[in-house]
Structure 1
Amino acid sequence: MVDLLEIRNIRKSFGNNVVLKDMTFNVPPGAIVGFIGDNGAGKSTTIKTVLGLVSHDTGTVKIFDEENINIHPEKKEMIGVVFDAMNLPAHLTIKQLNNVLKKLYNTWDQNHFYQLIHSFHLPMDKKVNEFSRGMSMKLSIAVALSHHAKLLLLDEATGGLDPSSREEVLEEIINFVKYGDKGVLLSSHIMSDIEKVASHLVFIKEGEVLLSEEKDKVIENYAIVDVHENQLPVLNKNIVVAKRNHGSHFSVLVSDRKELPEGIDSKNFSMDELSVFLTRSEK
């Protein structure tokens, strides 16, 4: 099956500042790809590049197997987007907003929209500019899920939500991909959300992919080992993903614990620990 989103060797500079360095990963059908990195790592720039809001210097971006610069307007309706800040008319109520959106989208599903509004406990007659941040994010997510999109691009979409609201939104994201023909790119700092819903993980640092892998493979095969400097040469270079220098010893992330030499013990890790390790490591 063709990938819903394919990013290959994307580079982007603003002046002398290189923000994306040969960025490569994909979103296959049925996948929820957790897109993870510190502030300023390049997550939002990547998403804006996918949407054509930012031009890239080199590389290719394909959406539904078509380069994004050539994508047909009808296919653009198949992309649902939620940014960290809401981009909806603030002076409208939800009822008024629905009337606007059903004229804007040929595929607008009013029944599903109102179903989500009810599920998210959002007020129908209150103006959007009176919403809390959490309410605004839920409204943006409801809009993104209500025009029969095939690909969702969610940039910190759960960041302003309380735990109960996050649970509701995550359930909708899981439902979105359940038939295997849709996909999600989910940028988030909340590793418990990533751990709960993601099928694939993409970690980036300073505009560069450090790890791109199926989550189950990471959990099953990857490990962190602590070794002295003189033990580094005995590790198979092909399984070394990243390492951290602690002065007296190194912590090393390996992609296959079964390939470790005898006498070097591995330890398990949480998603939070993996995130911290990668964002503070060297390749």
Structure 2
Amino acid sequence: MLKIDKLKKQYKNFTLNCSMEVKEGMITGFVGPNGSGKSTTLKAVLGLIYIDGGDIQIFGKNVKDIKPEDKEQIGVVLSDSGFSRYLTVKDIKDILKNTYEAFDEQLFTNYIEKYQLPTDKKLEQFSVGMKAKLKLITAICHKAKLLILDEPTAGLDVMARNEMLDMLRDYMEEDEERSILVSSHISTDLETLCDNIYMINEGNIILHEETDRLLSNYAILKVDEEQSKTLDPQYIIKMKKESYGYACLTDQKQFYLENYPKIVVEKGTIDQIITLMIQGV
């Protein structure tokens, strides 16, 4: 569906070197700290910035060869873009009707009514959550095969986030050939939504793993100075000094449970894994 091979983008104080793939029928998460390269990668995929090297393919075609009819198959939500604040939902519906041949007006209307978005008020009167829902609705209502979402739930409360995640699940259930690439700093969203996750830091992919395996096999070992000296290091990915001793990241939780019954083995959250991957040695 989407394949990025050795993508390079050079700025004055930042270099992006990224390879990743979004497979058909999959939801792929993209995580990392602010400034790590997530938005730069997505903008490169969409042709919004020039790249300095590498190859990007969408639907099996080089991104440079993507035609207007191919672009209609892509739904986009960017964190730093949106509609004019002077437009209404009715205005946006008319724009979409004249932009996308496959625009599903009934589906659009159903979502607007379901989430109680006013059709006659200007967007400047919308809350943050209302604007976020509208952006996602516009992305999925023209039967896109690929969704590219940059922080779609940022700044939303728990209820609003859950509603948007439900919308994405409904989108995927309607067609098994669809795919989503979603960046987010809210790890709990990705844990329940994504099939696999890429982690990026300072422009480089530092980890790619299936979400189920990330949550079941990865763990944080908490050991004191003495325990650290006897710990088998072969399955330790990263280690970080803490006040009590060391926090160690492993992808072989069962090995340490069976062989080191006295050490503390905690299930690692995505946030903890990101922190250890970046700050550990």
TM-score under structure 1 length normalisation: 0.88
Q: Deviations over 1:4-39 (max 9, x none)?
A: 111122221113x23312x12211122211211111
Structure 1 residues 249 and 24: CA distance shift in structure 2, 3 A: farther
Residues 81-107 of structure 1, C-alpha deviation per residue, up to 9 Å, x if partnerless? 111134213322111211111111111
Task: State the secondary structure of the residue aligned to 2:259.
Answer: coil
Alpha-carbon separation, structure 1, partners of 2:50 and 2:108: 32
Q: Is 2:8 the counterpart of 1:11?
A: yes
Deviations along 1:115-163, whole A, 9 cap, x unmatched?
A: 1111221100011222222211111111001111111111111113222
Is 1:25 paired with 2:23? no
Q: Secondary structure at the match of 2:212?
A: helix
Matched, 1:152 2:150: no
Counterpart CA distance in 2 for 1:124 and 1:272 is 38
> Which of 54, 60, 65 is matched with 1:65 structurally?
60
Please show how residues 245-264 of structure 1 align to structure 2 within 5 Å: 245-246=241-242, 249-258=245-254, 262-263=259-260
The Cα of 1:218 is off from its aligned counterpart by 1.2
How far apart in 2 are the matches of 1:39 and 1:231? 37
2-side partners of 1:20 and 1:245: how far apart?
29
Measure, in 2, the Cα distance between the counterparts of 1:66 and 1:243.
41
Mapped to 1, the partners of 2:5 and 2:62 lie a distance apart of: 11
Alpha carbons of 1:79 and 1:276: their partners in 2 closer, same or farther (altered >3 Å)? same
Q: Pick the aligned partner of 2:123 from 128, 136, 159.
A: 128
1:174-225: CA deviation from partner (whole Å, max 9, x where unpaired): 1122242111111111122112211111111111112111101112222223
Matched, 1:169 2:169: no
Distance 1:63 1:240, change over 3 A: farther
Structure 1 residues not aligned, in runs of 5+: none
Corresponding residue SS for 2:98: helix
Matched pairs, number: 274
Counterparts of 1:78 and 1:61 in 2: how far apart (Å)? 16
Matched residue SS, 1:177 = helix
Scaled by the length of structure 2, the TM-score of the pair is 0.89
The answer to whether the 8 Å contact 1:210/1:241 transfers is no
Aligned partner of 2:30 in structure 1 is 35
Which of 214, 220, 225 is the equivalent residue of 1:224? 220
Deviates more, 1:219-228 or 1:115-124: 219-228
Tell me the equivalent position of 2:191: 195
**The one of 237, 242, 248 aligned to 2:238:** 242
Q: Which of 69, 76, 79 is matched with 2:71 structurally? A: 76
- Alpha-carbon RMSD: 2.2
| C-alpha contact 1:137 1:160 (8 A) present in aligned 2 | no
Structure-2 separation of matches of 1:258 and 1:197: 25
Seq. identity, %? 34
Residue of structure 2 equivalent to 1:270: 269
Unmatched tracts of structure 2, length 5 or more: none
Retained in 2: the 8 A contact 1:200–1:212? Answer: yes
User: Aligned partners of 2:243 and 2:52: how far apart in 1?
Assistant: 39
Q: CA deviation at 1:248?
A: 7.7
